Structures are given as structure tokens and as C-alpha cells.
Structure 1
Amino acid sequence: MIKVIHPVAGTVAMLTIASLWLSTVLSEMFASQVAIAAVKMAVPWSFLLLVPALAAAGGSGFAAAKGRQAGLIGAKIKRMPWIAANGLLVLIPSALFLASKARASEFDTSFYAVQALELAAGATNITLLGLKMRDGFKMKGRLRRRPARPVKASPL
């Protein structure tokens, strides 16, 4: 069961964060303030999907590791506290602040400063989750290293 829960929950978490990040960027670049407000007010509702997905991925990952901490498993485990701290200390408070500001139609300097922080923290989590996913693929043999091609010397 863990072999199913872990990759599904991790994929759901990654796709949720990526879609939130992309929705924010696209709405800020191309949409009206009404659309931006709609995106910002929808983000906290996504926590109903995202938080359980992250918890299921983390819990099932620890269970699957069975106490091992070396190699790729160790690398994956070391990234999890950073992902969690980033989410709990930066992303969730930022999302709630931005939803509140958007609801009041207050698109001021503080809104955009926190928006920039949220985008940077979101990109960081996407990167960290992507690295965890890559390591998981390597562990399962789904991602193989390609042999290096020899470099031909160019005639001068």
C-alpha cells in the first residue's frame, strides 16, 4: 500500500504547488485585479488537498525508508524539514495574508512584497520536491544515468 500512497501523494503535492505557483504568475502577468484576487482567495482552500498530500507523502516515505538514512533515502529525508519549514513558516502565512489583502482589494506595496516572497518560497519547494522525486525515480530504477558521450577534439 505504501508503494502506491507515496508516489501518488507526492505527485499530488508537487502538481498542487506547481499549479498554484503557475496560476499566481499567470494571473499577475496577464489578468485583472479581480482575477488576481480570485486566485489569491482560492489558494488557502487548496490547503485542504495539499497538506494531507504532503503529510501522506512524508509519512509513507518515512515508513518505506524503514529507518535507513544513507544514500538517496538520506538525501530525501534531509530535504523534508526544509520543505515543511518553508511551507509552515513562509507559504501558509503568505497565502493567508495575500488572500486577506486581495479580499479587501488592497494591492499595495506590502501585497507585492509578500507575493514576491511567496513566489520565491514556492519555487524553492517545487525545486526541493522535484529533487526528492528525481531521487525516488533513481531508487526505483525509473531514471537511469545516460553514459557520457566521448567529446571529439576539433581540428584546429
Structure 2
Amino acid sequence: MTKKTLILYYSWSGKTKEMAEKINQEIEGSDLKEINVAKDAFDSDQYKTNDIALDQIQGNKAFPEIQLDNIDFNDYDLILVGSPVWSGYPATPIKTLLDEMKNYNGELASFFTSAGTNHKAYISHFKEWANGLNVIGIARDDSAIKDWIK
């Protein structure tokens, strides 16, 4: 039996959205929700956005508020979280999401899209941010999806 699955994603450029939609088609009956932030939260320039995110992470620790439908996370057996990689970190709206999920009892996995190669840093930072949550896997793109939904 397939786990009841929710796919949550934040996409800055559209690549993570494309991957999330592909995964949603691969998992029968899964729900798909996009994580949004205020329009002025980040810049349209990738490098300026990266600087904003690094300041949020290393400087002021003020992560962006997210806009997401009211979801009871515990209605799901498995939640997949999609994110781009920003300087080795998940996009900062993911930190806000994971903080909101602190009482989630099911399984959590992350997929990411990246033009770079700093995947090990992403994995460790995601696990750190998901402190206390049951992280069963982290993978680039949709390569581990079939394992996660078994």
C-alpha cells in the first residue's frame, strides 16, 4: 500500500516546481502544495538572493514567513520537501516550514535541485533544521522516490 504522501516545495526559479510536479505524477494520490513567501522577500537576481539567504542563516536568524494552506501534517504518512540549494543550505523558507512541522510524527524526506555540487552540506543542514523529525532520506531530484514511498 502506498503511503499517504504530501509534497511541499519552495521554488525560486521554477526548477524545483517542475521536479515537484514530476514527483506528484509518479506518486498516485499524492497531494502537492507550493510554499510561497512575500514577493519582496528575495531578489530576482540569484546572487542578491543568495546574499539575503546567507544573512538570514548566519546573521540575523530572521527566516522568511511562509504562505501555505492550513495543513494538518499528521494526516500524512510521508512528507516530501523540495528545495533549491542555496550556498549548501536548503532555501530559507524551508527552515520556517520545518519549524512549523515540529509536531509531525510521520516520515520526512527531501529532494533538491541544484546547479552546484555542494550536496553533502545540503544534507547535513536539512537534517539539522529538521531537528527531531524522522528524516528517512535526502536525494537530488527524484532518484530515491520509489524507496521512500514503499
TM-score by length of 1: 0.23
Task: Tell me which protein shows more strand as a share of its residues.
Answer: 2
Task: Tell me which protein shows more helix as a share of its residues.
Answer: 1
Larger Rg: 1
Q: Which has the higher contact order (CA 8 A, sep 6+)?
A: 1
